[in-house]
Amino acid sequence: MEFVGKCVFEGIAIGRIAVFDKGDNQVKRVRITDTAAEVKRFEDAKEAAKAQLAALYEKALAEVGEENAAIMEIHQMMLDDLDYVETITGMIESDEVNAEFAVHATGESFAEIFASMDDDYMKARSADVRDISSRVIAILSGKNAGGIDSDEPVILVADDLAPSETVQLDKSKILGFVTRHGSSNSHTAILARTMNIPALIGIDYPADCNGKMAIVDGAKGTFIIDPPMSVIDEYHRKFEEQEEQKKLLLELKDKEDVTIDGRSIHLYANVGGVGDVPAVLDGGATGIGLFRSEFLYLESSTYPSEEQQFEAYKAVAEMMGDKKVVIRTLDIGADKQVDYFDLAKEENPAMGYRAIRICLTRPDVFKTQLRALYRASAYGNISIMFPMIISESEVIRIKEICEEVKSELSSEGKEFKECEIGIMIETPAAVMLAEELGRHVDFFSVGTNDLTQYTLAIDRQNAALDNIYDSHHPALLKMLQMIVDGGHKSGCWVGICGELGADTTLTEEFLRMGFDELSVSPSMILKVRKTIRSIDLSK
């Protein structure tokens, strides 16, 4: 069976299908007679959950440092909490109910108790107790808590994936993504490209495909289920050719990003977390042009602390050494929803309460992040970038808050460096004010994904509009030239961190416009470098 969809990231994947299980939120109450056996089921599941958390702790320790890994240890301890365990076992024995229901009911009861407390730390435990309960229930139900029920790498199939779900997946277990819904311009699609994983959207796959052999052909946009051996053999040959091409590109790893006629440009990488940094270094990027800090929030069950953020920012700064690391402040809202922010439902969230608008109205959250960023600046070459800017007054207020944070850190005797300050240009308002805004900052970075949707009045999440979402639209290209001209006139360097930066059909045009920097997915670094080195601007 062959299905045709839209390509999000090219490449070939061959393997078995795993249908992503978001889990059944409804836990049914079942009467049981052998309470001793049911208590034993719970105890075995609890120990299995602790083993999972121990493994996750080691993984997080290696990828994001001890401070961020500590939550896994806290969850292990919570699973052994005497009140929690005795309440569950007591409910099983006295009410003769199944372990799943006892764990769910106890978890909800404890979560509500924590949530009602005045102490912020104890309130945060509400989400933790729900998390550990969900993990135990998943084990009792025979489901994998991470959504992938397989010990080997798989082609992950889902109706759709939220950014928070995508970012928590074990990348080592995923050969490719296939979704029924979604847009090629969504943040989940961007993550697939960052992860260098072949991905398709718009595939109306059959419900009974779990466990079947399949092929993802990103170039053709095809998904083949139960292919004959002759087709599998043919794609194995194509896969080997693909890997050979990657090896040839690796010869460009340490080459300069300079055109035939000698024009240099900075080629940086976009990343979603500390775990992506090795791919940046492997690809030979000369810096990080976009570190999406919001994924620290998406991965957390509560507001990440200053120390948690500091450890993450410090880790990436140290790993990159002297190379520039541009960290974007919190950019949630629209399709990146975080439950504990309690954001109200909006009719048009893409144009609503998001990004810098949240930060400027929640100074406690904003200052916590800025403190962590400035403290981490002492360990590397960090620049700070602010998203969704529409006015000079916003930039002036941001800089005032930065000064307040630096003053606080100085009075506390904490080390920090002066950081370059930049803004994202992703609204038509910012384009029109480029020269004025540039007087307040050190650099611009163009978010072409949002700038395209706001310029064309097209929701980038609406798959039905993909065919008219035109990132090559003449109006957008004119705006890009205006941004470069305005930025340079006011003394800023100007880059692109949106997906358009990796479009090699426009690389020469970007160079002729005068862009100083392009920041792309790590998987695209070498392809863009090859294109840059083939261009002669003197012609």
Per-residue model confidence as pLDDT tens digits over 47-65: 988 888 887 777 666 655 6
Give the pairing of strands 199-201 and 6-9. Answer: antiparallel
Q: For residue 497, indicate whether it is catalytic.
A: yes
Q: For residue 187, indicate whether it is catalytic.
A: yes
Q: Which of 187, 359, 402, 419 is catalytic?
A: 187
Q: What is the CA radius of gyration of the chain?
A: 25
Given a cut of 90, whether residue 19 has pLDDT beyond it is no
- Which range has highest mean pLDDT (295-304, 358-367, 430-439)? 430-439
Cross-strand pairs, 225: 214
List, in order, residues 6 or more apart from 417 with CB less than 8 Å away.
Answer: 374, 377, 378, 382
- The arithmetic mean of pLDDT across residues 356-366, rounded, is 92
Based on DSSP, count helices (H) and strands (E) in the chain, helices before strands.
Answer: 20, 16
The pTM score is: 0.65
Q: What is the pLDDT of residue 129?
A: 86
Q: What is the pLDDT of residue 69?
A: 67
- The arithmetic mean of pLDDT across residues 339-347, rounded, is 76
Given a cut of 80, whether residue 336 has pLDDT beyond it is no
Amino acid of residue 244: E
Q: What is the pLDDT of residue 1?
A: 86
Q: What is the pLDDT of residue 64?
A: 52
Q: What is the pLDDT of residue 168?
A: 63
Q: What is the pLDDT of residue 73?
A: 82
Nearest to 171 by CA among 65, 257, 278, 84: 278
Given a cut of 60, whether residue 163 has pLDDT beyond it is no
Helix locations, 323-391, DSSP H: 356-361, 363-376
Q: What is the pLDDT of residue 351?
A: 77
Given a cut of 80, whether residue 265 has pLDDT beyond it is yes
Q: pLDDT tier at 243 (50, 70, 90 boundaries)? A: confident
- Which range has highest mean pLDDT (10-19, 56-65, 247-256)? 10-19
pLDDT in tens, 177-223: 898 887 665 655 666 776 778 888 888 888 888 889 999 998 888 99
Q: How many CB atoms lie within 10 A of CB 153?
A: 18
